Homo-oligomer: A and B are copies of this chain.
């Protein structure tokens, strides 16, 4: 960590800061330039983040050298993490297709969708039983009934189930039905919930928050890892910008960036990223080309009647067509479905 002092700082300022660093067990190196004095603190600077040294009047700024997360870091683990779900791995050569409706609405609709996912080569069925909705007047999900329909669809098709957990008090319930527990974008910084899923032994798919940097996404992953659960899958789903034609701005550079900074796998959700079904297919292709470990796609048997996110849901026929193109792209890139 580098501490830059303001111009005009005195020896006593230098001594004060140095002493504080020594107290924390760090080695100190002072370097006086023409315009600024800088103090280098050598050792594990994460201890120092606790200290509020920046509040000291003579301190101009503090420049961290190390990343603020450990377990999620590529420094900590060089090789890619591979998350095992039944007989499948995420984080390997394969690109995993996870598709389904925004929310589970009817038993028949869900089964119809599940069969379409299976037929097209998908391996995961997504669908929310608990839905975070910005309006209290909107459909909030079927709850356990929805989870049961998911389980039934898994039974029939062999697809694995991914579904969202919103309330820490539902952890056990969702755990019982899900193969991957999803933490939604709005809950990326719900540290209570992160700790909760850090204590279970099922994979967690952690979505990037609407205005979270990749570093913050990795800090949230660190919460889960730190509690003991090492099965974390990240998900890029668009960030909030000034652009209003799309629901969010899908940041595909997050894919190679995460691969550089971390060993964790990352999938992409273009449906939430763009929020318009006509843009979903090109962005699915782009996500695969960018190196994503999987795609999370919203599809619906009848988008005009969907209780949630109809405008961004692909029809089953559109999904089938997309999958043909996805497959040929995956092959061209030397990867597998």
Name A's B-contacting residues (CB within 8 A).
2, 4, 7, 20, 29, 31, 33-36, 38, 40, 42-44, 46, 49-56, 63, 65-66, 68-69, 75, 132-139, 166-169, 186-187, 189-192, 210-211, 213-216, 219-220, 222-223, 226-227, 239-246, 249-253, 255-257, 260-261, 273-274, 277-279, 282-283, 285-291, 300, 303-311, 313, 328-329, 331-333
Specify the chain B residue showing the minimal Cβ separation from A287: B286
Write out the residue numbers on chain B whose beta carbons fall within 8 Å of the beta carbon of A69.
135
In the complex, are the beta carbons of B52 and A304 less than 8 A apart? Answer: yes
User: Contacting A35 at CB < 8 Å: which of B66, B68, B186, B305?
Assistant: B66
Write out the residue numbers on chain B whose beta carbons fall within 8 Å of the beta carbon of A313.
52, 55
In the assembled complex, how far is the CB of residue A143 from the closest CB belonging to chain B, in whole angstroms?
Answer: 13
In the complex, are the beta carbons of A285 and B289 less than 8 A apart? Answer: yes
In the complex, are the beta carbons of A49 and B191 less than 8 A apart? Answer: no
Known: A63-B63, A282-B290. A42 touches B49 (CB 8 A): no
Write out the residue numbers on chain B whose beta carbons fall within 8 Å of the beta carbon of A291.
282
Known: A33-B43, A132-B191, A332-B328. A213 touches B244 (CB 8 A): yes
In the complex, are the beta carbons of B38 and A40 less than 8 A apart? Answer: yes
Roughly how many angstroms separate A135 CA and B249 CA in the complex, as a whole number? 25
User: Contacting A44 at CB < 8 Å: which of B34, B68, B251?
Assistant: B34
Roughly how many angstroms separate A239 CA and B251 CA in the complex, as a whole number? 10
In the complex, are the beta carbons of A244 and B244 less than 8 A apart? Answer: yes
In the complex, are the beta carbons of B244 and A239 less than 8 A apart? Answer: no
In the complex, are the beta carbons of A273 and B253 less than 8 A apart? Answer: yes
Roughly how many angstroms separate A249 CA and B251 CA in the complex, as a whole number? 6
**6 additional A-B residue pairs with CB within 8 Å, beyond A50-B139, A133-B191:** A52-B309, A55-B313, A134-B189, A136-B223, A240-B242, A256-B283
